[in-house]
Structure 1
């Protein structure tokens, strides 16, 4: 797998030129529409959202919002809001109106903003000219849409290590491969499974290989480009669950050679309820609409079954779209494209190494992993404290130390349970709890925040 630092998935792209300034409905420059909406609440209720312990100053749009004193180490669940997303929403709110459904100035402005967002997200993901970029609610929604678009008789190959979003939507006869012990083993397993599925056939039946880019449990990166090449050797397509990968490394559909990619805005610092499925158009245009209703149709006759469905992204975007979510996500994508992502990645990798070293040194703490300890990974670490219930540890970290992280099985129950059993064998401990803790970092994370967690873990009860 090619890499950006430890986890790059595609070749670097030339940053897109700056977006045009604010335009009126006729496309002419206008002055500032409105000052950003104040996000300050009464002091007696809660402190105003401000950047939490910001990383090196000067990022501007990529500063993240948070609450002073609270340490957020739960980026893998929901990343904090980037200033670029908050500002984009605040600027558009006075103009908020219908999309694709009106002739007035507000509707025209919102339609333009929505379609520009689609273009900017597509550019960020490196889509091909004939790919569709469909706005969904999140990665789970996007993969459910793809499952609905799978042609009749199609087969799916995936791993038992997947997040539920890439484990549960597929048909009941899906081939679920065992959790591999290494990245190379994953490629060999896909190659062998596809060879067996094609045995004795003419090779024309549709097959989709669906794999995560970075594990939401361990942060470990999977060999996306190699897996896609293995799929294509057997005439199969490849879908990438990039929910955890895209916030940390470049995801370029063209460079990777993948057929579909799914991402979530709330993982990408745009927590406004949006996701994306991007990829090849033919299966999507041939499938029944994911939702039926206004916007998904070309015509509706006197009989309700007399319907002509739209082609393109609108076919699967019935109803009023999530304009603010799309605009927020596009703003973050544009901000990330304009900075040195290799430098961001290097900083995160240094912080991740510090976190993992501290966890390894903490008494009675065992890290979970699928591959080797030195395998490439993004800023996610799952672990257990021997002899301690993980939910109780999480509650103590929140109450005593003001540290927020995740406990449980992380919506990846088969994988998490397997890794907990493996950690017990590897550590020789019989007192590991049945669930785990997960610390995850990102743009706003600092050494001081990580040190607070490590101090808490090293402090006796």
Structure 2
């Protein structure tokens, strides 16, 4: 199934800005220059969805934290106490950013994939997922025997299919993406929460591509668990988060066995380890020395995005998207991808193919000829690309706080050459 946008409706927005659009925030490497056919040019980073550059405020936070860095939780020294306080404050910043409930747990992980694998060990029952998910929100659940629902051609029909599946057979969890990493299309999270809860299931949201672009409120949206990655959120320092209800997390075996997760280990350790006592709360699933600097980076990014404000971020992104979508729609042979024909909103991601060119050839032309960085391939969403009729992949453009209209215009000019 390939959904191709008609030329007259290629743009999700209603107003196409023609005035220059400046970056909304300073990011590291914004002035990096690369070699291409025309000489050395400023690198046009249109690959934010893979790994976003660090916000300058995040870089400054880590630079300031390094001289005071020490071990956490068990050190009596002054720097250990300071670092512990900063690490625990980082949890509060994350909780505030996602609008968590007062009794939710914030666990620091390596990334979204790590968070989902952790949660998969805690779910006391079946999980239902769509077949259009990123592998991170598909493969961990397949290991646990998840029930996979086939996506329909519309959002409305897809919601109906999920409702019917949960009604037909009980499940403990509905695991869903907040925004597609291929097309950027956004699903209605409050509606999904209502569907899940009506049938006694909980809702998990993979917010890796949603959190950098939109306000996500766990409590108000009815979300039970949510995960995202620092490297998508302008904090590429190797940390991610899992936020959600405490009972399943405390009721499961520790994700990793080791120091920090253990409250007491007896002198004589039985083969079945039944005498080891484990912590409750975040420590239960954070064995080993934590990535403190990564956690501080995520917190700094969360605080910065709160300060910028979700509406300001959205306006910037939508202006760039309108310019991009309209420009792609005017280029013959460029085929934008969509999953659902009735979706009306997407974050700063657009995927497309170019007639007569492989995705890799397009990406190489953009890089070698124009100093533009995009992503090509199947984006760790192989079933979705096959469903869309492109098993060999597509080209993906993704935007962020450091994006500017000049990047879009250079991309469109380069594509026109093809």
Q: TM-score, normalised by structure 1?
A: 0.81
Match of 2:138 in 1: 167
Q: Would you say the 8 A contact 1:390–1:435 is kept in 2?
A: yes
1:417 aligns with 2:393: no
Distance (Å, rounded) in 2 between the aligned partners of 1:315 and 1:190:
33
1:181 aligns with 2:153: yes
Q: Among residues 219, 223, 242, which one is paired with 2:184 in the alignment?
A: 219
Match of 2:27 in 1: 64
Match of 1:36 in 2: none
Q: Would you say the 8 A contact 1:130–1:280 is kept in 2?
A: yes
Distance (Å, rounded) in 2 between the aligned partners of 1:240 and 1:344:
21
Tell me by how many angstroms 1:173 deviates. Answer: 2.6
Distance (Å, rounded) in 2 between the aligned partners of 1:253 and 1:172:
25
- 1:72-126 CA-to-partner distances (Å, cap 9, x unmatched) read 0000101111011101100000011111131111211110110000111111111
Match of 1:316 in 2: 285
Q: Would you say the 8 A contact 2:154–2:342 is kept in 1?
A: no
Match of 1:280 in 2: 245
Match of 1:344 in 2: 313
Match of 1:254 in 2: 219
CA RMSD of aligned residues (A): 1.7
Q: Would you say the 8 A contact 1:407–1:438 is kept in 2?
A: yes
**Tell me, which stretches of 5 or more residues in structure 1 are unaligned?**
1-5, 8-53, 199-205, 422-432
Tell me by how many angstroms 1:374 deviates. Answer: 5.7
More divergent stretch after superposition (369-378 vs 309-318): 369-378
Q: Cα 1:172–1:288, aligned 2, differ >3 Å: closer, same or farther?
A: closer
Match of 2:394 in 1: 436
Distance (Å, rounded) in 2 between the aligned partners of 1:337 and 1:74:
23
- 1:392-430 CA-to-partner distances (Å, cap 9, x unmatched) read 211121111000010000000000121135xxxxxxxxx
Match of 1:202 in 2: none
- 1:223-248 CA-to-partner distances (Å, cap 9, x unmatched) read 11101100000111000000000000
More divergent stretch after superposition (161-170 vs 393-402): 393-402
Number of residue pairs aligned between Structure 1 and Structure 2: 386
Query: Aligned to 2:388, what secondary structure does the other structure show?
Result: helix
**Tell me, which stretches of 5 or more residues in structure 2 are unaligned?**
1-11, 14-19, 34-41
1:131 aligns with 2:104: yes
Distance (Å, rounded) in 1 between the aligned partners of 2:238 and 2:115:
12
- 1:368-397 CA-to-partner distances (Å, cap 9, x unmatched) read 110127621001000111111111211121
Query: Aligned to 1:65, what secondary structure does the other structure show?
Result: coil
- Name which structure has the greater RCO, CA cutoff 8 Å, separation 6+: 2
Q: Among residues 20, 39, 48, which one is paired with 1:75 in the alignment?
A: 48
Q: Would you say the 8 A contact 1:298–1:308 is kept in 2?
A: yes
Distance (Å, rounded) in 1 between the aligned partners of 2:342 and 2:248:
39
Q: TM-score, normalised by structure 2?
A: 0.89
- 1:44-93 CA-to-partner distances (Å, cap 9, x unmatched) read xxxxxxxxxx9647x6xx41111141010000101111011101100000
Distance (Å, rounded) in 2 between the aligned partners of 1:354 and 1:373:
21
Q: Among residues 454, 457, 460, which one is paired with 2:412 in the alignment?
A: 454
